[in-house]
Structure 1
Amino acid sequence: MRYPVRTRPPRPARFLLGLLLVAVPLLLALLGPLLAGEPGPRAASFTLGDGHWAGTDFVGRDVWRQVLLGGRTVVLTALSATALAYAVALPLGLAAALTHRAWLEDVLMRPLDVLLAIPSLLLLLLVAAVFHPGTAGLAVLVALVNIPDAARIIRATAAEAAARPAVEALRMQGETWWRMAVGYVGRSTLRTLTADAGTRLTGVLYLVATAAFLGVGVAPDAADWAVMVDRNRTGLFVQPWAVVLPALLIVALTTGANLLFDAAQTPRPHPRTPLPAPPSTRKAPHP
Structure 2
Amino acid sequence: MSIITLHRSKFFQTLIRERQVRFGFSVTLIVVLFALLGPLFAPQNATALVGFTYGTVDQNALLGYDYIGHDVWSRLLHGGQSIIWMSVAASFIALLIGSALGLLAALAKKKTDQFITWLTDIFMAFPDLILVLLIVSMLGRDPWLIVVTVSIAFIPAVIRLARGVALNIVEQEYVETAKILGFSKLYILFREILPNMLTPLLIHLGVMLTWAVGMLSGLAFLGYGVAPPAADWGLMINENRAGLLIQPWAVLAPVLLIALFALGTNVLAEGVGRAAARIEEK
TM-score normalised by length of structure 1: 0.83
Asked which structure has the greater CA Rg, the reply is: 1
Distance 1:12 1:176, change over 3 A: same
- Distance across 1 between alignment mates of 2:74 and 2:244: 18
Q: Which residue of 1 aligns with 2:105?
A: 96
Q: Which residue of 1 aligns with 2:24?
A: 18
1:42 and 1:62 in contact (8 A); partners too = yes
**1:40-61 deviation digits (Å, cap 9, x = unpaired):** 5522222213421211111111
- Distance across 1 between alignment mates of 2:115 and 2:178: 25
- Of 107, 124, 128, the residue aligned with 2:132 is 124
2:207 and 2:269 in contact (8 A); partners too = no
* Matched AA of 1:87: L
- Distance across 1 between alignment mates of 2:78 and 2:146: 19
Of Structure 1 and Structure 2, the greater helix share is in 2
- Of 203, 210, 213, the residue aligned with 2:211 is 203
Distance 1:49 1:198, change over 3 A: same
Q: Return 5+ residue gaps in structure 1 as ranges.
A: 1-9, 271-287
Distance 1:264 1:61, change over 3 A: same
2:25 and 2:264 in contact (8 A); partners too = yes
Count of aligned positions:
260
Q: CA deviation at 1:202?
A: 1.3
- Of 167, 172, 180, the residue aligned with 1:159 is 167
* Matched AA of 2:95: Y
- Distance across 2 between alignment mates of 1:96 and 1:186: 14
Q: CA deviation at 1:12?
A: 4.2
SS at match of 2:54: coil
Distance 1:14 1:49, change over 3 A: same
Distance 1:265 1:72, change over 3 A: same
Equivalent positions of 1:133-148 (< 5 A) are: 133-148=141-156
Equivalent positions of 1:40-55 (< 5 A) are: 41-50=49-58, 51-55=60-64
Q: Which moved more, 1:218-227 or 1:75-84?
A: 218-227
TM-score normalised by length of structure 2: 0.84
1:132 and 1:217 in contact (8 A); partners too = no
1:11 and 1:263 in contact (8 A); partners too = no
Equivalent positions of 1:180-199 (< 5 A) are: 180-199=188-207
Q: Return 5+ residue gaps in structure 2 as ranges.
A: 1-15
2:121 and 2:156 in contact (8 A); partners too = yes
- Of 28, 35, 38, the residue aligned with 1:29 is 35
Q: Which residue of 2 aligns with 1:63?
A: 72
Q: Which residue of 2 aligns with 1:218?
A: 226
CA RMSD of aligned residues (A): 2.1
